[in-house]
Amino acid sequence: FLNTHAASLGLSSAAQFYYFTGSLSSFLDNAPTAVSFYTVAQGLVENGTIVSEATMAGIPEMILAAISIGSVFFGSMTYIGNGPNFMVKSIAENSGVKMPGFFAYIVKFSLIVLLPVYILVELIFI
């Protein structure tokens, strides 16, 4: 479905893939997120929406990098975006460290610290 309907999703640039992959990866595991957006990129290449001479694994290198970086980095935006996040939170709480709740973590850390770093990563590398 994603491959066939890739053009109708409105994704065409590496930056779009970076942020959309990252947004989904914030709430899902990174592997299925990366595979989903890789399939979309394949569909865009197959129907001619994206043309690039520098390809890797059948899609433009910059889009593959954007998908990979977005899916891995953005997993830390929430406790549920990456499995070990819950484990670290649990270990810290059992050791007596006060940890923020789900939404407090997003507001106090993710949006203030991580998002600006991810924007900087996009501006430098993508």
Q: Among 81-90, 99-108, 109-118, where is mean pLDDT lowest? A: 81-90
Read off the pLDDT of residues 63-85 as tens digits, 9 standing for 90 and up: 999 999 999 999 999 988 887 88
Q: pLDDT at position 112, please? A: 97
Judged by DSSP in three states, 78 sits in: coil
The mean predicted confidence, pLDDT, of the chain is 92
Phi, psi for 60 (deg, rounded to 5): -55, 140
Q: pLDDT at position 49, please? A: 83
Residue 56, beta-bridge partner list: 59
